[in-house]
Chains A and B, each alone.
Chain A
């Protein structure tokens, strides 16, 4: 019988009919509920002001602000690290002579993540996520993740000499932190050599 036939008589709705209707509709409804996206997270989260990070990095002393110009050689190496053009032609950093602090921006997926790195004797002493602007992946701010960068040095090929464990669902943000950590170590090495 075709679904819209006029040749059928009206009938009662039985319990089994309702049960079968439920069986038919429940699976797609459940799938739809799982597939629906949740609300997007806040656009920008400032966890630590850059000035506060610098103050924490140099307790009791006044760090000097210096400039590192992105020369053609530095530019080429930075492109190698980042995989794209650096955002600006000179980089500010803070130093007390022994260690240096770098505040860098890098896009995870769509928006810039601002992170701070303190470098001493060629290794990362401290890493912090300062401002996070992506909609997801903010777990990279947790101490358990950023603590992995402590002690990391620059190895051959401008890569880190230690393994950094990723975070599920935050791969692009983790990769951005990895790129910034390599950039900070490279900049610190270059600035120290000048």
Chain B
């Protein structure tokens, strides 16, 4: 029995050690890789995670706006794509809201380019896009006698359905919507709506790349990538060595076998 050379023994020993040490990490990489590859199928981009400790780990904290629009006991607060009306989460429109009016039994929320209409329970009623507005940008909205009033450019217009608009004289008075400061109690009540969340796909990608542990996490995954390369190289080396030895052993056995003289 002959002993394998030092290099071969070292290679096998470290192949085993690296393989065992990295097995858990590679499993995580494989699972997160599969999730990323099939994220669309699993709708992972629409799944959001808001676990407090995880958001805290990311350094994300609830940020409740300090101002909102109030009318007829309804409070509307918006920040980015989070719109909240009277305790109901709304489907956000496009752009920053410039006003909220409760008129004709409906809630009208204007941005520079459109008016989003809801009922008092927050159900979407309609969207009046720029094609149906007398112009853009919408500067301000208000109400008078159950009608919606809007300042578009330098002119004032009135509507009762959002479709038919009538130009008004400039001096006509109206109750214009304007933002007002929220009380501490209102901000506390709104906090759950503005709690930070992240797409699950983003978290999976961060675990996969190591970014979830900051720059050291990236270095760790870099180290794992190098370890995988070493494993691949040593694995191929061991396979080729074994293969060569087996081939020679088979040939030797064939030569050593005595011929059948019968």
Interface residues of chain A, those whose CB is within 8 Å of chain B, are 1, 3-4, 6-14, 16-17, 20-21, 36-37, 40, 50-51, 65-67, 87-92, 110, 135
Contacts and interface: CB of A to CB of B under 8 A. Distances in A.
Given A40-B40, A110-B43, A135-B40, A88 B126 contact: yes
Contacts of B2: 7-9
Contacts of B38: 37
A90 B248 contact: no
A13 B127 CA distance: 73
B119 A21 contact: no
Interface size class of B (residues with CB under 8 A): 35 or more
B247 A37 contact: no
Given A6-B8, A90-B125, 13 more contacts: A1-B242, A1-B246, A6-B4, A9-B2, A10-B4, A11-B244, A12-B244, A13-B240, A13-B244, A17-B247, A87-B124, A91-B126, A135-B40
Contacts of A8: 2, 4, 241-242, 245
B187 to A, nearest CB: 30
B163 interface: yes
Contact of B239 (A12, A21, A37, A91): A21
19 contacts: A1-B246, A4-B15, A4-B16, A4-B238, A6-B3, A6-B8, A6-B12, A8-B2, A9-B2, A10-B4, A10-B244, A11-B247, A17-B247, A21-B240, A50-B131, A88-B126, A89-B123, A90-B125, A92-B126
Given A6-B4, A7-B2, A17-B240, A89 B119 contact: yes
A89 B245 contact: no
Nearest to A13: B240
A154 B25 CA distance: 58
Contact of B244 (A14, A50, A89, A135): A14
Contacts of A51: 131
What are the nearest 10 A-B pairs in CB distance? A11-B244, A8-B245, A89-B125, A17-B243, A51-B131, A88-B124, A6-B4, A90-B126, A4-B12, A9-B2
A5 to B, nearest CB: 8
Contacts, number: 84
B46 interface: yes
B5 to A, nearest CB: 6
A9 B124 contact: no
Contact of B5 (A10, A14, A20): A10
B140 to A, nearest CB: 24
* Residue among B12, B119, B124, B243 facing the most chain A CB atoms (10 A cut-off): B243
Contacts of A67: 126, 161, 163
A88 B16 contact: no
Nearest to B163: A65
B90 to A, nearest CB: 12
B144 interface: no
A88 B126 CA distance: 6
B22 to A, nearest CB: 17
B241 A11 contact: yes
Contacts of A9: 2, 4, 245
* Residue among A16, A51, A92 facing the most chain B CB atoms (10 A cut-off): A92
Given A17-B247, A67-B161, A92-B163, A10 B241 contact: yes
B163 A20 contact: no
A51 B119 CA distance: 26
A20 B239 CA distance: 11
Given A88-B126, A89-B126, A110-B46, A7 B4 contact: yes
A78 to B, nearest CB: 14
Contacts of B243: 13, 17, 20-21
Contacts of A6: 3-4, 8-9, 12
